[in-house]
């Protein structure tokens, strides 16, 4: 991420910095291009985020991506009462399925309980009025999309059924991209075949991967906080799609917030905590948030993401690589991927954080 250019504000003096992210070609990675593989590794160590040019992915993923935008528009157009039937806190102990909204919480100040699929706005800790966030979300479990394990018959609004073929194509395309990336990273890390990162991200087996649909609500300029607080993602990699501004990352050189420009035909991919834990921080879990451009109000905004996660039993300790330093946590302190997920979610739902919580929330 080199020196940032600027994008126009709203006739204001403020000129936000734009993150100069590298672009990685999926096609080049898949064909084993060594220059592209090396570039990917450098970018993941330095920035922890890049554009992945999805052109050439099979099947035509760009049409599929359009289908999912359509699904999320229809989903969030459903009446709130209906979405609340799929309250993520009630449907899924592990937040893998359901709807998670703000207004009810701001009114009565209560927390709706443990573990949402649909997340109503404001369920998580945030920076807006009442310390709540500014988005609704709906989680769709990969296992449900792929008909695997206990989620095969997951509860869902009828509109999802129409889009199941698209969701399936989407999950397959992202899995193929993830697999090419993990193979390239494993090869750069010089991992033995039994340590290959793909071994703990097997698409055909149950895993806590999910597709999350997100709708941010417009906020007045007076509410200048982030609609989605600074955080790192708990899993291995996130494949984000949006046509609108709002995502910001901490620049690896500037160490300041920079705006990520949406780019057509590309997913914005960021490394999450699991790959950082597995490489003793060599791969950078990218810190990010969602906020309006300076001097502007937050507009209504849609995005969706595929969250790739390590299988539950994966031990979160450094892989054996000449490039990865040993040490870090004591053997007794090693937790599994499943346990890490629980710790991180507990943190996101807390009302207040103390200093010791920061490493969990904003960078493992």
Ligand X SMILES: O=C(O)CCC(=O)C(=O)O
- CA atoms of 203 and 193, how far apart (whole Å): 18
Spatial contact of 279 and 321, defined as CB atoms under 8 Å apart: yes
Question: Could you count the other beta carbons within 10 Å of the beta carbon of residue 203?
Answer: 18
What minimum distance in Å lies between the beta carbon of 242 and ligand X? 5
Closer of 76 and 307 to Fe ion (Cβ): 307
Question: Could you count the other beta carbons within 10 Å of the beta carbon of residue 150?
Answer: 11
What minimum distance in Å lies between the beta carbon of 63 and ligand X? 22
Spatial contact of 216 and 262, defined as CB atoms under 8 Å apart: no
- Neighbouring residues of 250: CB distance < 8 A, sequence distance ≥ 6: 256, 257, 258, 286, 287, 288
What minimum distance in Å lies between the beta carbon of 299 and ligand X? 13
233 binds Fe ion (CB under 5 A): yes
Question: Could you count the other beta carbons within 10 Å of the beta carbon of residue 214?
Answer: 23
- Neighbouring residues of 147: CB distance < 8 A, sequence distance ≥ 6: none
- CA atoms of 311 and 309, how far apart (whole Å): 6
Closer of 233 and 273 to Fe ion (Cβ): 233
Pick what 228 binds: Fe ion, ligand X, none; C-beta below 5 to 8 Å, kind-dependent: ligand X
Pick what 247 binds: Fe ion, ligand X, none; C-beta below 5 to 8 Å, kind-dependent: ligand X
What minimum distance in Å lies between the beta carbon of 307 and Fe ion? 8
Task: Annotate 244-262 with b (16+ C-beta within 10 A) or e (fewer).
Answer: ebbbbbbbbeeeebbbbeb
Closer of 143 and 273 to ligand X (Cβ): 273
Pick what 123 binds: ligand X, Fe ion, none; C-beta below 5 to 8 Å, kind-dependent: none
Closer of 187 and 296 to ligand X (Cβ): 296
Closer of 152 and 346 to ligand X (Cβ): 346
Pick what 240 binds: Fe ion, ligand X, none; C-beta below 5 to 8 Å, kind-dependent: ligand X
Pick what 132 binds: Fe ion, ligand X, none; C-beta below 5 to 8 Å, kind-dependent: none
Site string for Fe ion, 110-139 (x = CB under 5 A): ------------------------------
- CA atoms of 76 and 178, how far apart (whole Å): 28
Q: Residue number with the shortest CB distance to ligand X? A: 303
Pick what 217 binds: ligand X, Fe ion, none; C-beta below 5 to 8 Å, kind-dependent: none
- CA atoms of 222 and 35, how far apart (whole Å): 47
What minimum distance in Å lies between the beta carbon of 115 and Fe ion? 18
Q: Which two tokens stand for residue 75?
A: 């989903």
The site for ligand X (CB under 6 A) is made up of 212, 214, 228, 233, 240, 242, 246-247, 288, 290, 303, 305
- CA atoms of 131 and 146, how far apart (whole Å): 36
What minimum distance in Å lies between the beta carbon of 212 and ligand X? 6
Closer of 242 and 337 to ligand X (Cβ): 242
What's the gap between Cα 6 and its chain centre? 25
In which residue are the tokens 């193929």 written? Answer: 176
Closer of 205 and 346 to Fe ion (Cβ): 346
What minimum distance in Å lies between the beta carbon of 49 and ligand X? 11
Q: If you write DSSP's letter for every residue of 262-273 in order, what string do you get?
A: P-TTEEEEEE-H
Closer of 189 and 271 to Fe ion (Cβ): 271
Q: Which span (131-139, 181-189, 230-238, 292-300) binds Fe ion, by CB under 5 A?
A: 230-238
Pick what 121 binds: Fe ion, ligand X, none; C-beta below 5 to 8 Å, kind-dependent: none
Spatial contact of 185 and 100, defined as CB atoms under 8 Å apart: no
Residues binding Fe ion (CB under 5 A): 233
């Amino acid at each position: 991420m080199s020196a940032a250019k600027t994008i126009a504000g709203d006739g204001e003096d403020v000129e936000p910095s734009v993150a100069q992210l590298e672009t990685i070609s999926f096609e080049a990675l898949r064909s084993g291009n060594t220059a592209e593989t090396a570039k990917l590794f450098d970018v993941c160590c330095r920035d922890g985020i890049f554009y992945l040019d999805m052109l050439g992915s099979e099947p035509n993923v760009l049409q599929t991506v359009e289908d999912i935008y359509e699904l999320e528009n229809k989903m969030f157009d459903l009446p709130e009462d209906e979405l609340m039937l799929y309250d993520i806190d009630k449907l899924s102990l592990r937040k893998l399925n359901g709807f998670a909204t703000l207004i009810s919480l701001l009114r009565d100040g209560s927390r709706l309980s443990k573990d949402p699929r649909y997340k109503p706005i404001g369920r998580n800790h945030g920076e807006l009025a009442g310390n709540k966030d500014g988005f609704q979300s709906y989680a769709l479990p990969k296992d449900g999309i792929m008909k695997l394990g206990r989620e095969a018959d997951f509860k869902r609004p009828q509109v999802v059924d129409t889009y199941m073929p698209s969701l399936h194509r989407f999950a397959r395309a992202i899995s193929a991209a993830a697999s090419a990336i993990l193979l390239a990273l494993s090869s750069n890390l010089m991992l033995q075949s039994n340590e290959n990162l793909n071994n703990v991200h097997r698409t055909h087996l149950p895993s806590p991967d999910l597709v999350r649909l997100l709708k941010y609500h417009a906020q007045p300029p007076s509410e200048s906080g982030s609609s989605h607080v600074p955080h790192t993602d708990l899993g291995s990699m996130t494949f984000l799609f949006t046509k609108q501004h709002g995502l910001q990352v901490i620049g690896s050189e500037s160490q300041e917030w920079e705006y990520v420009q949406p780019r057509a035909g590309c997913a914005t991919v960021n490394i999450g905590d699991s790959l950082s834990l597995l490489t003793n921080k060599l791969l950078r879990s990218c810190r990010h948030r969602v906020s309006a451009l300076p001097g502007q109000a937050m507009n209504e905004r849609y995005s969706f993401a595929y969250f790739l996660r390590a299988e539950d039993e994966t031990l979160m300790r450094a892989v054996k690589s000449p490039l990865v330093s040993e040490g870090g946590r004591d053997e007794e302190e090693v937790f599994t991927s499943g346990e890490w997920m629980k710790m991180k979610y507990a943190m996101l739902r807390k009302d207040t954080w103390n200093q010791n919580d920061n490493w969990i929330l904003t960078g493992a």
